Amino acid sequence: MITRLIAIIPAVIVTSLYGERGTGQLLVFSQVILSMQLSFAVVPLVMFTNDALKMGKFVNPRWLSILAWTIAVVIMTLNIYLIVTFFFS
């Protein structure tokens, strides 16, 4: 109950001060922050699964490593684009 109240307080404050438009902007801002964190999860995961010492016989094959790194770079590129468009438009 306490953690739910702590989580909802910023939304209630923004809604009461700025109305529906402010709530929408807060939602978009929270999604921008969450998307920035995605790279910090994907890159170590790809590095870990490509390490033969850690993964042993379960290490990614070469084609999967290339695909995983390609996807990680696409995610990081889209996040940079999102951050630039969010803060400079």
Alpha carbon distance, N-terminus to C-terminus of the chain = 38
Average pLDDT, the chain: 89
Mean pLDDT of the 27-34 span: 83
pLDDT tens track for 34-60: 888 898 999 999 999 999 999 999 999
Q: Domain containing 77: what range?
A: 2-88
pTM here is 0.68
Q: What is the pLDDT of residue 31?
A: 83
Q: What is the pLDDT of residue 9?
A: 87
Mean pLDDT of the 4-27 span: 83
The total number of residues shown for the chain amounts to 89
Q: What are phi and psi of 60, to 5 degrees?
A: -60, 140
Q: How many independent structural domains does the chain possess? A: 1
pLDDT at residue 72 tops 90: yes
SS (H, E, C) the chain: CHHHHHHHHHHHHHHHHHHHHHHHHHHHHHHHHHHHHHHHHHHHHHHHHCCHHHHHHHCCCHHHHHHHHHHHHHHHHHHHHHHHHHHHC
